[in-house]
Amino acid sequence: MAVVLIAVCLLGMVQFFASAGDRVMDSETRSLLHQIAAQEIEDIRALPYEDIGTIAGQPSGLIPDVETRTVEGVPVEITREVIYVQDPSYSGPYPANYRRVTVAVRATDSEELAPMQLSTIVAGGADGGTLDITVTDLAGQPVRDVRLQIVNDNLVPRVDIQSSAMRTDVQGHLLVPGLVPDDTNGYYVTATKTGHNDAATSEGLVVDRGTPFTVVQLIVDELSSLSVRLTDGTGVPQADVMLVVGGHISVEPWIFTRQATTNDEGEAFFGDLRYATSLQPLVLQTVDQYEALLQLPLGTDSDPVDSGILLEPGQVGLILEPGTDRFLELELPARPAEP
């Protein structure tokens, strides 16, 4: 009994000292991450105002967006972001008079430790043109943390801005000043967010110097899915029927088609679909030619598709709400027997 009690006590002491050692090591690592972030901030503040920007960002500069290196034996990843910000009391000719620098440092071999993040403001100005971008969902509510990319192939050098700092705030908004003016309709904006449809400007934008700003409004919303169960009208599943769904998307090529074949239960699934409205509905039909036409079950109302949408016989127009998994019963009488 004495030996067992001593062993239990020793085991508890070992676990205590091991845990205490881990906490000490974590504290030392956090201190190192803070030192690295603080030094990064000081180095950036020492740069000329015009050079304070990341390679892929706006404002652009020579600062790498992401860098990995080993410091005092600890492998770290350093992420740098620079964006324009404006003091509300500023009344100058351009929309931004500061650059906000954010540095985040994380230990790549200690995933449980949160990154150390520091920010600073550098005073200056932002000459050039401005894009005033707002991203909402289909209901008009702002969508935050949408990644934005701005490109212009007409300018030399080519504009391609897609840093991690290029994302919307809680109001679904991002002001992008300091752009090279261009009256050739050369600027394009693309918005992306995981689990949402992509969106882009379908036509090029003109960006003038100073005011008025070029206003951009894009819509992204949660992706949806469509499940179809196909029978012959008497409840018997129709297997091996190839269906095609077509509709609109918010990026090139602007329209899409996707195919699926019903299984033994007569079921087919279409995932990751953009919302569909009465003006831009989904259109569902069969791929093969059948004597019978695809149709809704008797007594089922069709979706209120706009009267300007002309559907051919055998086509079913559908509205799909954002972030939903819609189930639909359809009928296709048994195909005629082959001679």
Do the Cβ atoms of 215 and 315 come closer than 8 Å?
no
Q: Pick the closest to residue 281 from 327, 328, 248 (CA basis).
A: 248
In angstroms, the CA 281 to CA 304 distance is 10
CB contact set of 107 (below 8 Å; sequence gap of 6+): 29, 33, 74, 75, 76, 113
CB contact set of 243 (below 8 Å; sequence gap of 6+): 228, 230, 259, 260, 261, 262, 268, 284, 285, 286, 287, 294
Share of the chain above pLDDT 90, in %: 58
CA angle 187, 193, 198 (to 5 degrees): 55
Domain 32-123 is of which CATH architecture? 2-Layer Sandwich (3.30)
Where are the CATH 2.60.40.1120 domain residues in the chain?
129-219, 224-331
CA distances for 294 relative to 206, 234, 278, angstroms: 46, 14, 20
Q: What is the pTM of this model?
A: 0.73
Where are the CATH 3.30.1300 domain residues in the chain?
32-123
Q: How far apart are the first and last CA of the chain?
A: 89
pLDDT given for residue 17 in this prediction: 47
Task: Extract the residue ranges of the chain whose pLDDT is less than 50.
Answer: 16-18, 20
CA distances for 275 relative to 197, 200, 326, angstroms: 8, 15, 11
CA distances for 20 relative to 15, 24, 25, 124, 312, angstroms: 8, 6, 9, 47, 73
Long-range contacts of 114-117 (CB under 8 A, 24+ apart): 115/33, 115/79, 116/30, 116/33, 116/34, 116/36, 116/37, 117/37
- The residue assigned the tokens 């100073």 is 210
CB contact set of 135 (below 8 Å; sequence gap of 6+): 142, 143, 146, 148, 168, 172, 173, 191, 199, 217, 218, 219, 220
pLDDT given for residue 120 in this prediction: 87
pLDDT given for residue 20 in this prediction: 45
pLDDT given for residue 125 in this prediction: 66
Do the Cβ atoms of 321 and 303 come closer than 8 Å?
no
Q: Pick the closest to residue 126 from 65, 21, 53 (CA basis).
A: 53
CB atoms within 10 A of CB 130: 25
Task: Quick: pLDDT tens for 36-54.
Answer: 998 998 889 888 888 899 9
In angstroms, the CA 84 to CA 129 distance is 13
In angstroms, the CA 43 to CA 32 distance is 16
**224-331, CATH topology level:** Immunoglobulin-like (2.60.40)
Pick the CATH number of 129-219 from 3.30.565.10, 3.40.50.1100, 3.40.30.10, 2.60.40.1120: 2.60.40.1120
